[in-house]
Structure formats: structure tokens, C-alpha cells
């Protein structure tokens, strides 16, 4: 179970990503398989900004368990595959977990960001 401080009390049981997965909201997909969907972010923060989301509705990493390890590994491998397919020589993956980290959609997602120099630290 997630740390109660990691998600807001009013977090919806369903999210925009759930609606995208069900086909209720269109997206610009770049990868789809039985475990996840990757699509272009509608508010990109770089020339390439793709979101990789699991089909399983995990709120964030705090809610993941050891049983989710294969899924989490798959998400990162898909992120690398997407980056390569987008022609990125270097990229950043970001997973926000909880309100304090800037998570706004409470369905686990991996940001794949690149196509320009990325500063550090990111926040």
C-alpha cells in the first residue's frame, strides 16, 4: 500500500491515463504492447517528450511491490526503445512519485525527455 502522504486524499480512482488506455481520449501513440502504452505528451517540455504508462493502474512507485518488478523493468526498457526510435543519443527518464515530487496524474508514468540539452539539477 502506498504511503498516505504520497497521493492526495482526493486522488481520483480513475485518471486521464485510464481514459486514454480505454480509448475514451485519443493520444499520439509511439509504442503499444500487452503491458504498456507510450504516447507523446500533449504539453511537451522538450522536442521529444513521451509518456510510458503501464496498463496496470499503479498510482506511483510507492504503491509498487516486488511482484511489479518485471513490469517496472519493462517500462524502462520500453523507454529506452522509444528514445532510440526517436533518434535520441541522450535522454532523461523521470518518474515523479507523490505530490511533493510534482506528480499530477496519479497513474504511474515514465517521462522520456530529450532532443535538446537538459540542465541539472532538473527542479
Tell me the catalytic residues: 109
The b/e string for 71-110 (b: 16+ C-beta within 10 A; e otherwise) is bbebbeebbeebbeebebeebbbebbbbeeeebebbbbbb
Residue 29's DSSP bridge partners are: 39
Amino acid at each position: 500500500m502506498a504511503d498516505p502522504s504520497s497521493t492526495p486524499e482526493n486522488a481520483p480512482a480513475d485518471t486521464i491515463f485510464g481514459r486514454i488506455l480505454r480509448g475514451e481520449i485519443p493520444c499520439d501513440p509511439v509504442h503499444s504492447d500487452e503491458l504498456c502504452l507510450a504516447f507523446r505528451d500533449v504539453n511537451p517540455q522538450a522536442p521529444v517528450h513521451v509518456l510510458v504508462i503501464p496498463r496496470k493502474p499503479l498510482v506511483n512507485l510507492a504503491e509498487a511491490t516486488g511482484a511489479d518488478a518485471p513490469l517496472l523493468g519493462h517500462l524502462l526498457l520500453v523507454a529506452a526503445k522509444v528514445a532510440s526510435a526517436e533518434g535520441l543519443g541522450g535522454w532523461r527518464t523521470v518518474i515523479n512519485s507523490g505530490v511533493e515530487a510534482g506528480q499530477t496524474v496519479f497513474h504511474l508514468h515514465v517521462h522520456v525527455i530529450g532532443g535538446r540539452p537538459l540542465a541539472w539539477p532538473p527542479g
